[in-house]
A and B are shown apart, each in its own frame.
Chain A
């Protein structure tokens, strides 16, 4: 699969709505999101709790589908893709980082990064060298064989980032990646993101920490189910 053309937006949403059925009726979480994310940008999204940031990220990372509206990923209309094609896009073009790391705690750092290739068909040796390279990039080359349960939170999150970028993604999505980290660890994680962005990886990051806005090239606020640019 060819990477999307560098000129078009990585992700674009047009009048995207998302609602969830609940016992107390339908909840409209996103109410008409319009947005285009350009390649190479570092987008940071803030907003009150429950405003729909995670819901938006799930749509952006193709884990969920909009109730209404159109979503293009790399120029392809998501609603026109079948389950298999969505899975293929997720494994080849997307990287995800989570607040609680989502690591396989009893495996080593390198094995966790290698897990990125679990559903890809790249040859073993290639996967291994790319995983080692990704670990080196987040500054953990010397921790490759260490079981992740023995690592600090900051190190774990960097392993998770290495996993996300071992297969170079068109879009790196992170939902409160520093939410469980102290200031020093947050800084080292954010520096890692900055370096990746400098390398050309497009980043979409959600946070409650206003201090992280200084890394952003673009700041969006999520409010009442809509995303607004803040300059």
Chain B
């Protein structure tokens, strides 16, 4: 068995060496097809991972209501505020509701900049973040308008902040009470999070605090940029979103430019992208593979024709019709498999090196490497079927007739 396989491999290597041009051409066509397929798999896989991550980040039962920032002239009464949180709370019993207000980036000394997120204790119930040390804001901080802050863990590490430190934002001192661990790249990634944009280094402070430049109590209702809601149990998130929409878009609320962000909404864009890629890259991959397959088939057909005498000789030396067919099928599978491996490996290597500059997330794993191999084997079998059958049907007497 092993010996036969080794002999077959030797025969195939011999044949390829005898006709390098033809074999090279079909190899190239197949490798290009496999490259397209690998890119497709890597990108689709990446998008799928991204989709899962989005749902995980926002939480499947969490939605947000965000209001696009408006110009300075907009009256505060037209902005989202704590009043609306109360309204929602009244209609969504059991829901956790948290308001978030973003300040501009402020200097934290030197050229260091942080994004200050004014919020409340409920945020931690809603977002899948964990306290790394110390504690998060609590109701008392909010009520007493304590000048305390919770920093994102990596930010604190970079700037060497510790729980208990007093940090200064502009000239205002804040006591650091806790460090927060936010998902791996939650802040770097595109804005799945309406409240935070990429690259933000976040520092959380009570939203009841007057802004640092204002020492007096804040205006009655500081505006909010977003309200996060964890859907109460026993109610579908669609229902809750619909209810919130009805409540907040009543004309007397006069709220403009509201967006209701659910995992579903975030996924829609991604799904559209997935479909586009599936259709474009998918059809390119299929075309290349069919092209590669037919090139391979013509290679094999020409081989069979050229090797009639050799086939006759093999039959004279005892090869069965299946032996002959197997030789061509094996040659096809070998060629497609090597093309697939080099196409997939090469593509993965290039994508890996360029992954930072690639506009969409990528998945580069064994699945992406091995699927082309499987496809290649199937292609090899499919496209060598005909030539192999033709070769097997050549009668040995006729094959040797005109040598």
Interface residues of A (CB under 8 A from B): 54, 58, 61, 63-64, 83-84, 87-88, 90-92, 94, 96, 98-100, 102, 104, 106-107, 115-116, 118-121, 124
Given contacts A87-B318, A120-B318, contact A104 B14 (CB under 8 A): yes
Can you give 8 contacting A-B residue pairs, CB < 8 Å?
A: A54-B401, A83-B321, A98-B400, A98-B403, A99-B403, A107-B14, A116-B317, A118-B314
User: How many residues of chain B have a CB within 8 Å of chain A?
Assistant: 24
- Considering the complex, which residues of chain B in the window 312-336 have a beta carbon less than 8 Å from any beta carbon of chain A? 312-321, 323
List the B residue with the shortest CB-CB distance to A90: B318
Min CB gap B125→A, angstroms: 73
Q: Does B217 contact A (CB under 8 A)?
A: no
Interface residues of B (CB under 8 A from A): 3, 7, 14, 17-18, 309-310, 312-321, 323, 395-397, 400-401, 403
Interchain CA distance A64-B315 in the complex, whole Å: 11
Interchain CA distance A91-B395 in the complex, whole Å: 16
Min CB gap A208→B, angstroms: 16
List of B residues within 8 angstroms of A84 by Cβ: 320
Min CB gap B211→A, angstroms: 85
Assess the A96–B314 pair: CB atoms within 8 A.
no
| CB contact between A102 and one of B319, B321, B395, B403 (< 8 Å): that residue | B403
Assess the A118–B7 pair: CB atoms within 8 A.
yes
Interchain CA distance A119-B18 in the complex, whole Å: 22
Give 5 nearest A-B pairs by CB, closest first. Answer: A91-B318, A64-B397, A100-B403, A119-B318, A58-B397
List of B residues within 8 angstroms of A115 by Cβ: 317
Q: A83-B321, A87-B319, A99-B403 are in contact. List 6 more A-B contacts (CB 8 A).
A: A63-B395, A64-B397, A104-B14, A118-B314, A118-B319, A119-B318
List the B residue with the shortest CB-CB distance to A61: B316
List of B residues within 8 angstroms of A104 by Cβ: 14, 310
Assess the B14–A90 pair: CB atoms within 8 A.
no
List of A residues within 8 angstroms of B396 by Cβ: 63-64
Min CB gap B88→A, angstroms: 81
List of A residues within 8 angstroms of B400 by Cβ: 58, 63, 98, 102
Central interface residue in A63, A99, A104, by most chain B CB within 10 Å:
A63
List of A residues within 8 angstroms of B3 by Cβ: 121, 124
Min CB gap B191→A, angstroms: 64
Interchain CA distance A201-B397 in the complex, whole Å: 23
Interchain CA distance A54-B403 in the complex, whole Å: 12
Interchain CA distance A96-B316 in the complex, whole Å: 7
List of B residues within 8 angstroms of A107 by Cβ: 14
